[in-house]
Structure 1
Amino acid sequence: MTDKKHLGIALVTGASSGIGQAAAQRLAEAGYKVFGTSRRSSPAGGHPFDMLTLDVTSDESVDAAVAQILRRAGRIDLLVNNAGFGVAPAGAEESSIAQAQSIFDTNFFGVVRMTRAVVPYMRRQGSGRIINIGSVLGFVPMPYGALYAATKHAIEGYSESLDHELRGWGIRVSVIEPAYTKTPFDANFLQPDATLDAYREARAVVSKRINEVMATATEPSVVAEVVLKAAVAAKPKLRYPAGALASRLQMLRRFAPAGLVDAGLRKDLRLDTIPASQSVSPLLQE
């Protein structure tokens, strides 16, 4: 058995399953020393990477995990921000302000916390890579998934701005943009906490459609391969679509007329089958 080239020290959040686990596995196979993290204590389970407990919503937890890695490995060369969750299909007003803040605290501010914790060490090293797992929903809308889409739009803007700021220290930032991916993510959707009967039919229609497309969704290994590509690229790009559907959507968003994209989105999600009258207030009918 030949020794693999050592590519550096990688930290992958949300590595207990799905994209995070696949990315940690692929990076380890390629030659990185990988530390995966999970909010709940979780053994690596035979995978070629170490698992640490880390809650991206806690400053103390983030600082403790980063300090532990630095004690054990001496440096961090690659940060993959993957931890996140979504809300089950629902109208934007069906989540309370507290729930909206919760999803941003994990999906967006979790990225900010991890970045703030790691970047000072990368600056001292004079090198580093940060890869944020975004989504095609960072550049296209998701009706009945507005809060999740908003977090991914935020990651896009944050990542692009950060990449400009850090280049002078030899640090580059990229966003991976998968479409539907076969992970336990959808099984762990947070249920909306302020449901309204006005959206009942819409929730059912969109949920059914999402279940249909998940049957042909991209495998996490496809996304993991793109993560590795971005990590080792001599001249990394800012955005990397992951999978055929993501690439098509990126091209459509860039070149197709806005009206065509809008109509295609509504048709795909079956939004035009939802009666508009379901949400009309009796006060507006007077």
Structure 2
Amino acid sequence: MNMENKVALVTGASSGIGEATAQRLSKAGYKVYGTSRRGGQPGQRSFDILPLDVTQDESVEAAVQKLMQLEGRIDLLVNNAGFGVAAAGAEENSIEQAQSIFDTNFFGMVRMIRAVVPHMRRQGSGRIINIGSVFGFLPMPYMALYAASKHAIEGYSESLDHELRTRGIRVSVIEPANTNTQFDANLLEPDAKLDEYREVRAAVTQKMKELVEAGDKPGVVADAVLKAALAARPKLRYPAGVRAGGLRWLRRFAPAGLVDAGIRKNLQLDASTVSRPRTPVLEK
């Protein structure tokens, strides 16, 4: 496919998956603009950086308008901006924290799509690729808010693809497994910690650290993005890497009880380290 004059916009491109994706698209021939809340200095990367905060309507509109002034079109939008939540029981995160993670991970994506789709409709073509997660189709105990935000991306993307397909626009979701980035360096810590979860919280945190350290490189996800972007007949979902593909297969074909048991065993949720309430002694 001739990438000459194809313009891509990648959110959250200052590091990790976003940066790897922007570089991969640039190497493939796209004219790439990445975004970062802090902006970026010219000449440091193979792509330009625009300042953008996906949680602010005005910032989103300004960045998209700036890109349209520069290039006159947007052929590919990659929604990557997002953050995670440190391991915690669901009741250890306040409503304010739930709103915060959805405002970035989900509503940030919605804001970008609402700003870009009108331009793609007028062009009669475009690709939208949303970075999801294997946690968007598998439960993730002690990361309920993050998993919920990724489940929301899955549902929104599938509905949107049906709506836009007749306009020449296709939507895909990339589903990475654990990826070896600095993603876990800025995790949202629970603001209502309970002692009942202290031991299991520490155990799951350590397990997740090990999984991230052994995870795929960001380039694995970037390759999946490029594959979806260039596909003549794009699929809705693209697992990124062997591990993600295996988990997708298990979710689809393995008995639910087996998947459930595997999750609990992998995270050692039934180990003796998990705090359990004492059984009350009833006086006669």
The TM tier, using the shorter chain, reads over 0.9
Tell me what 1:130 maps to.
128
Shift of 1:280: 2.7
Report the Cα distance in structure 1 between the residues aligned to 2:239 and 2:42, rounded to whole angstroms.
28
Q: 1:85 to 1:285 in 2, by over 3 A?
A: farther
Amino acid in structure 2 at the alignment position of 1:226: A
Offset from partner CA, 1:37-92 (integer Å, 9 cap, x none):
01122225532100011000000000000000000000100000000001111111
Aligned to 2:82: 84
How do residues 204-215 of structure 1 correspond to structure 2 at under 5 angstroms? 204-215=202-213
Distance 1:274 1:81 in 2: 41
- Please give the alpha-carbon distance, in whole angstroms, between the structure 2 residues aligned to 1:28 and 1:41: 18
- Look up the SS of the partner of 1:272 in the other structure: coil
The answer to whether structure 1 residue 252 and structure 2 residue 250 are counterparts is yes
1:6–1:215: structure 2 CA closer, same or farther, 3 Å change rule?
A: same
What SS is found at the alignment partner of 1:273?
Answer: coil
1:263-278 matches, cutoff 5 A: 263-274=261-272, 278=275
CA spacing shift, 1:11–1:182, aligned 2, 3 Å: same
Report if aligned partners of 1:130, 1:174 keep a CA contact under 8 Å in 2.
Answer: yes
CA contact (8 A) 1:8 1:32 kept: yes
Deviation at 1:188, TM superposition (A): 1.1
Alpha carbons of structure 1 residues 171 and 5: separation in structure 2 relative to 1, 3 Å: closer
Q: How many residues align?
A: 281
Alignment match, 2:193: 195
What is the CA deviation profile of residues 110-137 of structure 1, one whole-angstrom value per residue up to 9, with x for unaligned ones? Answer: 0000000000110010000000000000
Q: Give 2:277's aligned amino acid.
A: V
Name stretches of at least 5 consecutive residues in structure 1 with no aligned partner.
Answer: none
Structure 2 distance, partners of 1:96, 1:5, is 46
Cα separation, 2, equivalents of 1:42 and 1:192: 30
Which residue does 1:6 correspond to in 2?
4
For the structure 1 residues 200 and 221, does the alpha-carbon distance in structure 2 shift closer, same or farther, using more than 3 Å as the test? same
The answer on whether the counterparts of 2:181 and 2:212 sit within 8 Å (CA) in structure 1 is: no
AA matched with 1:41 = G
Identity over aligned residues, as a percent? 69
**Distance between the aligned counterparts of 1:233 and 1:169, measured in 2?**
17
The whole-number CA distance in structure 1 between the counterparts of 2:257 and 2:159 is 29
Give the TM-score of the pair, scaled to structure 2.
0.96
Structure 2 CA distance for partners of 1:281 and 1:68, relative to 1, 3 Å? farther
Q: 1:1-286 alignment to 2 at 5 Å? A: 5-6=3-4, 8-43=6-41, 46-274=44-272, 278-280=275-277
Please report how far the alpha carbon of residue 215 of structure 1 lies from its aligned counterpart in structure 2 after TM superposition. Answer: 2.3
1:201–1:274 Cα contact (<8 Å) kept = no
1:181-239 CA deviation, whole Å, 9 max, x = no partner?
A: 01110111111111111110011110111112222100000100110000010000000
- Find the aligned partners of 2:197 and 2:69 in 1 and give their Cα distance: 51
